[in-house]
């Protein structure tokens, strides 16, 4: 499939055609299609097609894709930012780290923020993990179960650097923040127990009061 045909296929009203076009783009490896792939990520409604678009972009050399994806982080379209972050996390090139700004980590759109958290823990240099942990702590208590789970997983992935700030957050006066911090502690101690169990444990601890919070 030629690059022109791939580009037309990405605009098809049929998701199966768009899926095949994205697959062909990643297989053929013509860098001229990168712009069209990134642009399609911003508006593609089908999850499986978006996943294939990301796969296709990971097939190109990072120097060809990362700058274009970083540009997309400034888009006014939330999906554009979210998909660009997701793709950057899959590429894993730490040259993109400076583009993971605090405004993305605290984005008003939950899906953008979740994608930023996942990308950040993949791309952050070891020397900046503590600073990232502090930024992520400001999001404790935010959103629904999926959002809180995403944040907890991101924090746990940073390792022991999170523990001092996480312990401090267990004394926060806001119940949602305190509960989320305790649940994240539980998840850190016992990842195999699962988030639901950690949340239930956290609710019990919050109900009993701060004197029952265990030291790290």
Using 50, 70 and 90 to split pLDDT, how confident is the model at 207? low
| Percentage above 70 pLDDT, the chain | 88
What is the rounded distance in angstroms from the CA atom of residue 129 to the CA atom of residue 159? 9
The closest of 79, 78, 80, 156 to 117, measured between CA atoms, is 156
User: Chain-wide mean pLDDT for the chain?
Assistant: 91
Please name the helix (run of DSSP H) or strand (run of DSSP E) that holds residue 157, with its range, or none.
helix 145-158
State yes or no: pLDDT of 212 exceeds 60. Answer: no
pLDDT at residue 196, as a whole number: 65
Encode pLDDT of 13-44 as tens digits. Answer: 999 999 999 999 999 889 999 999 999 999 99
pLDDT at residue 208, as a whole number: 56
DSSP, res 211: G
What is the rounded distance in angstroms from the CA atom of residue 197 to the CA atom of residue 208? 17
pLDDT at residue 29, as a whole number: 83
Higher-pLDDT residue of 90, 192: 90
Average pLDDT for residues 88-99, to the nearest whole number?
97
What is the rounded distance in angstroms from the CA atom of residue 26 to the CA atom of residue 60? 8
Average pLDDT for residues 53-79, to the nearest whole number?
97
Chain center to CA of 185: 20
State yes or no: pLDDT of 142 exceeds 50. Answer: yes
Quick one: tokens of 126? 């070891």
Angstrom distances, CA of residue 190 to CA of 36, 117, 178? 43, 21, 18
Encode pLDDT of 144-187 as tens digits. Answer: 999 999 999 999 999 999 999 999 998 898 999 999 999 899 88
pLDDT at residue 215, as a whole number: 45
Q: How many other C-beta atoms can be found within 10 angstroms of the C-beta atom of residue 2?
A: 11
Q: Would you say 72 and 38 are in contact if contact means Cβ atoms under 8 Å apart?
A: yes
Angstrom distances, CA of residue 120 to CA of 70, 85, 100, 168? 13, 9, 6, 22
Average pLDDT for residues 55-71, to the nearest whole number?
97
What is the rounded distance in angstroms from the CA atom of residue 133 to the CA atom of residue 136? 5
């Amino acid at each position: 499939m030629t690059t022109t045909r791939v580009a037309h296929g990405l605009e098809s009203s049929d998701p199966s055609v768009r899926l095949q076009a994205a697959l062909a783009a990643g297989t053929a490896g013509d860098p001229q299609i990168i712009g069209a792939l990134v642009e399609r990520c911003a508006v593609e409604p089908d999850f499986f097609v978006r996943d294939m678009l990301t796969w296709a972009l990971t097939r190109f050399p990072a120097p060809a894709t990362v700058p274009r994806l970083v540009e997309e982080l400034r888009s006014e379209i939330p999906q554009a930012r979210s998909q660009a972050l997701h793709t950057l996390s899959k590429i894993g090139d730490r040259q993109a780290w400076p583009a993971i700004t605090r405004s993305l980590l605290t984005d008003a759109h939950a899906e953008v923020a979740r994608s930023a958290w996942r990308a950040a823990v993949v791309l952050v240099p070891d020397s900046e993990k503590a600073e990232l942990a502090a930024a992520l702590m400001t999001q404790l208590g935010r959103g629904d179960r999926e959002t809180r789970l995403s944040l907890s997983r991101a924090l746990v992935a940073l390792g022991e650097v999170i523990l001092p700030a996480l312990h401090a957050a267990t004394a926060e006066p806001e119940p949602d923040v305190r509960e989320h911090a305790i649940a994240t502690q539980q998840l850190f101690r016992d990842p195999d127990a699962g988030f639901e169990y950690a949340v239930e444990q956290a609710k019990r601890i919050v109900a009993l009061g701060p004197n029952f919070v265990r030291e790290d």
